Amino acid sequence: MPRGRGWRRRCRAGAWVQRISRFMEPCLLLLLHRGGSHGYDLLERLKEFGFAEETVDSSVVYRSLRDLESRALVTSTWDTEGGGPARRVYQLTPEGDQYLGWWIGGLRETRSVLDRFLQAYEEHMKLGNHVPDERMAEVDHRISS
């Protein structure tokens, strides 16, 4: 969320998108549910869930994976086969699978909360509760300056 005077200035593309807290975690868990993989590969595959390339920081991915491992929700082994530096390959544990289920439940709840909010907004606006046009124009002028 943009801060300071002139909130529009900080609405950079991709940044500050209203997001779900720690959303990367369930994404990683789902990817790992499809099969073991390593951080760098997961980083690429996160795009599938709407993480734009520019907006994902690799350190967040690695940090998240290590955190999951410290909670025994994934395990890791080193893979030195093939070229390039060694890769830490993660595998989902049964506990991690249950944890993913917990996330899914919470996210479904979040979706229903979100739906109700957006419906309430549309309902409210449908009734003609708009800010008068002349006031809006005034604001547009102030914001763009």
The residue within the footprint of a second copy, chosen from 33, 54, 79, 91 (CB under 8 A), is 33
Name the residue nearer to a second copy (CB basis): 42 or 87. 42
Name the residue nearer to DNA (CB basis): 18 or 145. 18
Work out what residue 9 binds among a second copy, DNA, none; the CB cut-off runs from 5 to 8 Å by kind: none
Which residue has 């997961």 as its token pair? 42
Q: Are strands 37-38 and 87-92 parallel, antiparallel or unpaired?
A: antiparallel
Name the residue nearer to DNA (CB basis): 107 or 137. 107
Work out what residue 34 binds among DNA, a second copy, none; the CB cut-off runs from 5 to 8 Å by kind: a second copy
Query: Rounded distance, CA 28 to CA 105, Å?
Result: 16
Which residue has 């350190």 as its token pair? 59
- Residue 7 binds a second copy, judged by CB under 8 A: yes
**Residue ranges in contact with DNA by CB under 7 A:** 1, 3, 15, 19, 21-24, 38-41, 55, 57-60, 62-63, 65-66, 80, 82-89
Cβ atoms of 93 and 114 closer than 8 Å = no
Cβ atoms of 107 and 49 closer than 8 Å = no
What's the closest the beta carbon of residue 135 comes to DNA, in angstroms?
25
Which amino acid, one-letter code, is at 17? Answer: V
Which residue has 């979706």 as its token pair? 111
Query: Rounded distance, CA 37 to CA 47, Å?
Result: 15
Work out what residue 144 binds among DNA, a second copy, none; the CB cut-off runs from 5 to 8 Å by kind: none
